[in-house]
Each structure stands twice: as structure tokens, then as C-alpha cells.
Amino acid sequence: MTVTRGTVTIDIDHCKGCELCIAACRPAVLRMSEETNENGYRFPLLEPGCTACRACRDVCPDYCFEVFKFDRPVTS
Amino acid sequence: MVAKLLQGSDAVARAALEAGCRFFAGYPMLPFTDLLEAMARQMPAVDGVCMNAETEIEAVNMTLGAGAAGARAATGSCGQGIALMQEAIAEAALNEVPFVVFNMARGQQDYFQATRGGGWGDYRTICLAPKDVSEAVEHTQLLFHLADQYRAPVMMYGDYLISHTYMSVDITRRDYGELPPKDWALDGSKGGTGHSRQVWTWAMGKANDPGPGPDLHWQRIAAKFEEVAAAEQRWEAIDCEDADTVVVSFGTCGPFVEQVVAELREDGVRVGAFRPISLWPFPEAALAEACRNARQVLVFEVNAGQMIDDVRLSIGGRIPVRPLGRVSIDFSGMRQGEILTVGWIRDRVKAAMQEVPAR
Amino acid sequence: MTDVAQRKVASALAPLQLSGEHHLCPGCGHPVAWRLLLEVIAELELEKKAIGVVGHGCYTNIVQLADIDFLQCLHGRAPAVATGVKRVHPDAAVFTLQGDGDVASEGLAEVLHTAARGERITTIMLNNGVFGDTGGQMTAASVVGQRTKTSLEGRDAEAHGYPVPVADLVASLAGAAYVARGAVNNAGSIAKTKRYIKRAFEAAVAGEGFTFVEVLTMCPTGWFLPTADGPDYLEGTFEKTYPLGALKGR
């Protein structure tokens, strides 16, 4: 069972594949894609379990993340 | 006209304040120091700022900041101190920040530095060289106007004699005409409006309002200085129309050469005096015209030959251009030395005229 | 999950930020510092009083990206230029944004004199120990052992001397009212650094004196590292030479 409290939008076109968000994500729900964007960079994908802690947005040098908090957690 | 007997540095400071100068920064170096001290005494009374900067480089950069913020700002130094300021003078020419630089030089050896500019880039610096304190007062106010009119740093070539001589002068504010408002100046007020301001040599502009970029920006600035060159030449020509020999000098050497010419004219000698008042833009055409009937041009400057390059460019090889002066500095190292006397100059002019006989 | 009601808790762009597109490297720490600076200016409602004086480095790009008044100035000279600006506009929130090359190398006289004079301005020094914009040469702040283009075997104290701890020097001056050192290599440090920057602006605007925040940032390019290794390298080397925290003032 996974509890998800929020979600993010990721601007994959501007991602430069630095992976700082992967390490910063506290619930570890980001993993890098296999495919690449138009600039040749892999980008993060979101898995269930986001807590809307905003660490990804805080560390991202390319301003790729918007963070949303759910009104009530979702269990899946 | 209200005249007061004032020492040169004091007169220049008062004239600057009359022109609206409210920020001054400098580092002590004689003979500029007297101007710094005069500013320190006088600025508080007009709620202005006088900074005794810790270095010349900081002084000129403070002045650049004050000018970019919209104030009438000035700095100054001499010789090696001006050399330290060249980077910032060039920067201000390229990012279009106005301020006045008072080069209270140690004699006449700063001509190259004042006119060629020691900084990077395709820029020019208006440089006015007053012959006495009265002209220095006039130039002081004119320079603040020119700096704002053209949005550029400008320079006065003064010296020890200007700094220390007492003269009866009128420092009342002169009116040089309307200037556009400084809506480009930084004050923070446009922050968050989408129209915030930017002062940058590279003029790249903002993401929502791109600028021309360095290539077009620097081309425009080069073209601006060509306009300035055409419009701001100043000179004084005395008795040149029928002169066999024209003697060229600048700054405080001017009155000495004037006196020599007056004395020789009384003896029936056809000699004239030409004094560029703007060292840049150098009055090339006016000098060529003044020497139209001459057989030679003599250049009296107290250095190893600096202004003579500009004289040669003006004359274009048509007639001989010969140096009269040399390096000559007094025991203090602050001012022109032993050759700056009417007698010394007159003897050399007469000798030179023997060598190229009159018509 | 998309039909659950939700609210935005963090925007991508910072307030006053015109664009997120910049030319800095993947994994660079500077853009995080930019965001903190702009958030502080917006939260303190200083956008109509803020005038930034920016030195020379990759971070200079901010003068195009942020909607506040900027003056881009000569390398090292920003504190002197800012002094002139502040003396003309004493009510403005005047700050400088510079790198370690700009401050510790070229502009050490400027920052120390400005701090000693207690000019009511804030200097933010982004410290990654390299001249990044020119390809990664050593600065006066590069740490011993750090490999750069001019110290390829690692900075050697015998040959290259020791780094200059600018924040400590500034803190020793009576005119400095608040001095702190932060970092942007993890979310916790980022949050603390934002508080340092906010305190620095508050103190300068309140007229307490000169305020200084050194911000350690990652430069994986200059450090010859994969981007993901930047944060650990910063912690393992830079933080040892430059301890984090408030050095002066509360």
C-alpha cells in the first residue's frame, strides 16, 4: 500500500538530466527515464507516494517542478 | 555677475555644486587632493556625499554607481591615479553612465592618457583643458551638462596651477539648455512591473524585452562618439590669419604662449597662437585653417611630445610641425618645471623662426 | 489520482522571475541561489526598492531573467558601485551578487572596505571555488586539494597557498552587522540559506550595517564531476573549509 499526498508537474523539455531531484526526494518517488528529451537528457518520472515536500522543486536548477498537495491523501 | 576671489580647487568645487553635483568620491593625490578636500568641506551643506575612497579604483566605481542611480556625480585624480580609473571610465562610456573626472594633472604628461583613453573598447572621452581658473569654472559646469547630454564620462584636464591659483570668478550656475529626464537611471521603482531597468555594457536586455546585444550596442556608441566629435570641438586662435608661425599649446601653458605672441607682435613678428580647448575632440579642421598661411607650426607642451601627434594629424604633412617643449617638472614633481616661463618660450620661438624664414 | 482536489504549494519560477531558461550547466547551484534571492525580495516586499549590482560570472545571467533594476559592473567592483547607488538612494534595498572569483580574487579590497564602512548593503557571494564562466580556473577561494584548470593535480598549499575565507574576514570588521554562510546542496541547507539571505536583507534595509551571505554552490563542470556527485563533494570538501552557519549577528 502506498499513500500519496501530492503530486508534481515536471517540465521535461527544460530538464538537463542532473538527477539532483532523485537524491533530494525524501520519499524516493522519482526515478530517471530511459527515454531522452529533445536535448538528449533523461528526465525524472514520478511514482506513487509523493508527499508534496517540495524538495525536488527546491533543488532543481532548471525550475522544472510545480508541486501540488492533495486535500486528502490517496491510498493505492 | 557676482565675482569672488577663490582658489582654483575651491572654485571648481563650488562650480560643481552649483551645477548640481551631489556625489563626489576621490583618493588623495596632489594636486587633486585640494579638490577632494574642498568637496569634503562643501558637500555637507548641500546634503551631498563626499567619499574619501580607500582606493582610486573604488572612488571611480562609486562615482559610476552614483551616476547610474541618476545623480550628477564626479571623481578625480591625476597621473597614476587616473591610470587606475581607466577601466571604469571605459566601462561607463560603454554602459552610458555619465560622470565628470577632474584630472588635476601633475603637469602636461597626462595628454595621451586623457585623450587616447586607457580602457578597453571603442569609446572616446570628451576632455576640456582650461587655461586658467575662470575657464575651469566654466568647463566644470559645461562638463556636467555634456556628460548628461551624451550619457558618457567626461574629463577636465586641470593641473597644479589651476588647483592653486587664486582668481576672481563667478560660479553662478550657467544654463546650457534642457536635457531629457534620466528615466534610464536605476532607483528600483520599476521592479515587478515588467519594465525594470538595466545598465549593462552588453545591453542584452531582459527575457521579456531583449536588448540590441553588444554588437549593435557598441556600434551605436561608436556612432554617438562620431556625432560628439563633430559637435563639441572647442579652440582659441589668436592672431593666426597672417601668421608665418603658429604656436600651439594647451591648458595652463596657453596664457604663457599668448604673452609671447603679444610681445613678438609688438616687435612686428607675424606669429599666432592656437589653443585646443577640447583635447578630445581635437579641433583638427580649425587648426589646419588657422595655419593656412603659416610656414611652420611650433608645439609648446611640457612633455616629450604628446599633443604634437594630434597637431601633425591636423596639418597632414603640409608644413613642418616642430616640438618646442620637453619634459620639465618642478622639484615637487607636481607642476610644470623651469621651461614654463615667457622668456624660455620666447627664445625658442624666435630661434625656430630663424630656421624657417618669414615670407 | 488526477480527480483528487489539490492546491499548488510551490511554483516552478520564483517571484519576479521573467524566465527559467538560462545557460548554466546541468547540476549548477547558482539557479537555486537566484531563486532564494528573488523569493526574499518578494517576501520582504522590496521589489520596488531593490537595485542589484552584479559582477561577472555565470550568475550574471540573472540581469536578464529577473524583473528588478540591475547594474552589471566590472569584475570585483560591485561593492564600490553599490556604495555609490546606496548613497544616492538611501532608501533602496541595494545588494550585490558576485562569485568567489569576483569577491575573493578580484574584489577583496572592495568588499572589505565596503564592510568596514558599514555601507547598508547586502553582498551575496556565490562560492563554488572556480572561475566557472571562463572555464574553471582556480580562485582565491578554491579549497586545498581542489582540481581546477590551473591546479590540475589539486590545489597544493605549497605551490598555491591557502583559500581566503571571505565571510570570516568580513565578520571581523565592525561595520559588518550580519554575516552568514549557507549552501544549496540539499533541501535543508537551502531552507537555512534562504533564512540567512532574508535576515541579511532585513538588517541592511533597517540600517544596521553591511550584511554578507556566502552561499556555497555546486559546479560539477568546474569540479570535473558527474552532476549527481556535486552535492556530496560540496559537503565533503567545501563545508570542511567553509563551515556553515551564522558568523555574526542573529
B:C CB pairs within 8 Å:
156
Question: B90 to chain C nearest CA, in Å?
Answer: 10
**Band of pLDDT at residue B124, cut at 50, 70 and 90:** very high
Closest alpha carbon within chain A to C6: A70
Phi/psi zone of residue C112: left (φ > 0), alpha (ψ -120 to 50 degrees), beta? alpha
Residue C13 contacts residue A63 (beta carbons within 8 Å)? yes
pLDDT attached to residue C2: 60
Q: Which of C8, C12, C231 sits opposite A11 (nearest CB)?
A: C12
pLDDT attached to residue C3: 75
Question: B75 to chain C nearest CA, in Å?
Answer: 12
Using DSSP, state whether B247 is helix, strand or coil: strand
Contacts of C41 in chain B (CB under 8 A): 191
**Residues in C lying within 8 Å of B, measured between beta carbons:** 16, 18-19, 21, 41, 46-51, 53, 63-74, 77, 80-89, 92-93, 109-110, 113
Phi/psi zone of residue A14: left (φ > 0), alpha (ψ -120 to 50 degrees), beta? alpha
If you count them, how many residues does chain A have? 76
pLDDT attached to residue B358: 63
The rounded distance, in Å, linking the Cα atoms of C179 and C170 is 7
CB contact under 8 A, C31 and A71: no
- Classify strands B99-105 and B153-159 as parallel, antiparallel or unpaired: parallel
Is C27 an 8 Å CB contact of chain A? yes
Residue-wise pLDDT tens digits, C125-165: 999 999 999 999 999 999 999 999 999 999 999 999 999 99
Is C1 an 8 Å CB contact of chain A? yes
pLDDT of C1 above 60: no
pLDDT attached to residue C182: 98
Q: Do chains A and C touch (3 or more CB pairs under 8 A)?
A: yes
| Amino acid symbol at B215 | D
Note which residues in 15-54 of chain A have CB less than 8 A from chain C. Answer: 16-20, 22-24, 26, 41, 48, 52-54
Average pLDDT over every residue of A7-32: 98
Contacts of B187 in chain C (CB under 8 A): 51, 69, 89, 92
Q: Which of B176, B186, A58 is CA-nearest to residue C191?
A: A58
pLDDT attached to residue B2: 82
Residue-wise pLDDT tens digits, C85-108: 999 999 999 999 999 999 999 999
Average pLDDT over every residue of B323-345: 97
Q: Which of C26, C102, C94 is CA-nearest to residue C60?
A: C102
Residues 6+ apart with CB under 8 A from B350: B264, B269
> Phi and psi for B284 in degrees, rounded to 5?
-60, -50
The rounded distance, in Å, linking the Cα atoms of C139 and C104 is 7
The rounded distance, in Å, linking the Cα atoms of B21 and C226 is 54
The rounded distance, in Å, linking the Cα atoms of A35 and A33 is 5
Contacts of A7 in chain C (CB under 8 A): 1, 6
Closest alpha carbon within chain B to C83: B62
Contacts of A40 in chain C (CB under 8 A): none
Burial class (CB in 10 A: 0-12, 13-18, 19+), C4: middle
Longest dimension (CA), chain C: 64
Contacts of A41 in chain C (CB under 8 A): 26
The rounded distance, in Å, linking the Cα atoms of B99 and B145 is 10
Question: C214 to chain A nearest CA, in Å?
Answer: 18
**Band of pLDDT at residue B356, cut at 50, 70 and 90:** confident
Longest dimension (CA), chain B: 74
Residue-wise pLDDT tens digits, B45-62: 999 999 999 999 999 999
Query: C-alpha cell of B326?
Result: 620637453
Complex prediction ipTM: 0.97
Is C64 an 8 Å CB contact of chain A? no
CB contact under 8 A, C227 and A18: yes
pLDDT above 70 covers a percentage of chain A that reads 100
pLDDT above 70 covers a percentage of chain C that reads 99
**Band of pLDDT at residue B359, cut at 50, 70 and 90:** low
- Classify strands B296-299 and B245-248 as parallel, antiparallel or unpaired: parallel
CB contact under 8 A, C71 and B91: no
CB contact under 8 A, C8 and A66: yes
Residue-wise pLDDT tens digits, C214-250: 999 999 999 999 999 999 999 999 999 999 999 999 8
The rounded distance, in Å, linking the Cα atoms of B57 and B54 is 9
Instruction: Give chains near C: 3+ CB pairs under 8 A.
Output: A, B
Instruction: Count Cβ atoms below 10 Å from residue C199 Cβ, excluding itself.
Output: 20
Residue-wise pLDDT tens digits, B60-81: 999 999 999 999 999 999 999 9
Beta strands in B53-120 (DSSP E): 72-77, 99-105
Q: Which of B60, B149, B165 is CA-nearest to residue B102?
A: B60
Instruction: Count Cβ atoms below 10 Å from residue B351 Cβ, excluding itself.
Output: 10
Residues 6+ apart with CB under 8 A from B89: B60, B101, B117, B119, B125, B153, B155
pLDDT attached to residue B355: 87
Respond yes or no on whether the N-terminal peptide bond of residue B281 is cis (omega within 30° of 0).
yes
Contacts of B23 in chain C (CB under 8 A): 84, 87-88
**Which is it for the CA torsion C215, C236, A59, C101, positive or negative?**
positive
pLDDT attached to residue B357: 65
